[in-house]
Amino acid sequence: MSQKSSTPPARVPAEKLVRDIRRATRKHHSVEDKIRIVLEGLCGEESIAAVCHRRAIAESLYYAWSKEFLGEARARHGCKRCAER
């Protein structure tokens, strides 16, 4: 007969374990990759949805990057009214 230990093993809650795994496997895109992806979408050769699907990113992430990218471009070219948007 096997004996059970008197102290149960430390258990990590399932939600925390899943959160830690997702955080560890999250993709990190360089600035160059972000710009390249935004420019692909702006070219118009394929839809934004197709670009996002091929690059395995969410459309909301694409639009956040494009807003950031276009805001920087407007600020660099001195368009004050456009940069405030």
What integer pLDDT is reported at residue 5 of this predicted model?
57
Question: Domains in the chain, please, with CATH?
Answer: 28-83 (1.10.10)
Q: Is the pLDDT of residue 3 over 70?
A: no
pLDDT tens digits, residue range 26-74? 778 899 999 999 999 999 999 999 999 999 999 999 999 999 988 887 7
Separation of alpha carbons 35 and 26, rounded Å: 19
pLDDT value of position 1: 54
pLDDT at 6 over 80: no
